[in-house]
Structure 1
Amino acid sequence: MSIDINQLRELLSAIAQTDIAELTLKSDEFELTVRRGVAATVPSIAASETLMTTIAAAPSAAPVASVLPAVVPAPQESSPPPANEFKGAEIVSPMVGTFYRAPGPDEAPFIAVGERVRTGQTVCIIEAMKLMNEIESEVSGQIVEIMVENGQPVEYGQVLMRVKPD
């Protein structure tokens, strides 16, 4: 099996549009490993993502390094620090799931912006694998901002709410 530069570019483009973190393609002639989140970036990919390609030729194969696209480090933009950085507590998602502000579709939300919250009080629900997980506040204070819309998917560690502590 041989691969030309156009096939390699198509493969890299297809992989860049997925959530694949690592892919290894092997044949008698070569081995191709593509890893996301490594040291270099390809300019056609979003600046927050990284992609590094390595090809190790098998002993019997002709060198294949010539099929590698140029890997160019992404330019580092220097951005000023945020002027209005939040100086309070944040309630973050402990899991991946779907965020719900209320215990049911026709019920009042657990908490709203401007309301006071106490430690241990339920502030939302995250549904994960058909289980409803009540998320409790770890701090007492006033809800300053709710960062997620009802029914929106959330990631592990994503900020759900900001609280001005007492």
Structure 2
Amino acid sequence: MDLRKLKTLIDLVSDSNITELEITEDDGKVRIVKANPVTYAPAAMPVAAAAPTAGAAPAAAPVVVATPAIAAAPAEPAGHVVKSPMVGTFYMSSTPGGKPLVEIGSVVKEGDPVCIIEAMKIMNEIEADKAGTITQVLAQNGQAVEFGQPLFVIE
């Protein structure tokens, strides 16, 4: 399936109320499932004990409900971040066991290949979208990457 057609289908699902779409064609089958956004229920408010009335037993201590602290999102790395344009498997080199296309300290120009992402048995060469020096590699060779996942930092 053409990547432009796949991107159009992804946009269609994300912009609509559709939660799942499955398309079967001669050259393959695509299933797109929209993840439900994470929603948090509001924390319960502490209940205050009523004032004791004359002659009544002392009231129990009020119950305090602790709300879990939400972990801060990791800080965005300094510099320009090259993000994955698709879901697939990340490879540092164009051949198994080959020399990586880039390493930390490599100087790249805009348009230079920096990695390969395999999606649906197609090897897609990902290019640097900015000139500079690779300061961080944020993905691991052979691991799955998500759309928009940071791959490299260029400074």
Per the TM superposition, whether the score is higher than 0.5 is yes
Residue in structure 2 matched with residue 71 of structure 1 by the alignment: none
What is the aligned length? 102
Alpha-carbon distance in structure 1 between the residues aligned to 2:73 and 2:125: 37
Residue in structure 1 matched with residue 84 of structure 2 by the alignment: 93
Residue in structure 2 matched with residue 123 of structure 1 by the alignment: 114
TM-score under structure 2 normalisation?
0.56
Q: CA deviation at 1:81?
A: 8.4
> Which amino acid is 1:37 matched to?
P
Identity %: 42
Gaps of 5+ in 2: 1-18, 21-34, 44-66
Alpha-carbon distance in structure 2 between the residues aligned to 1:100 and 1:36: 29
Deviations 1:113-132 (A, max 9, x none): 01101100000000000000
Judged with a 3 Å threshold, the aligned counterparts in structure 2 of structure 1 residues 126 and 39 are, in CA distance, closer, same or farther, namely same
Gaps of 5+ in 1: 1-20, 23-34, 44-73
Deviations 1:52-90 (A, max 9, x none): xxxxxxxxxxxxxxxxxxxxxx645475985xx533101
Q: CA deviation at 1:39?
A: 3.5
Alpha-carbon distance in structure 1 between the residues aligned to 2:148 and 2:123: 18
Moved beyond 4 Å, runs of 4+ = 78-82
Q: CA deviation at 1:107?
A: 1.7
Judged with a 3 Å threshold, the aligned counterparts in structure 2 of structure 1 residues 75 and 91 are, in CA distance, closer, same or farther, namely same
Residue in structure 1 matched with residue 124 of structure 2 by the alignment: 133
TM-score under structure 1 normalisation?
0.52
Judged with a 3 Å threshold, the aligned counterparts in structure 2 of structure 1 residues 38 and 124 are, in CA distance, closer, same or farther, namely closer
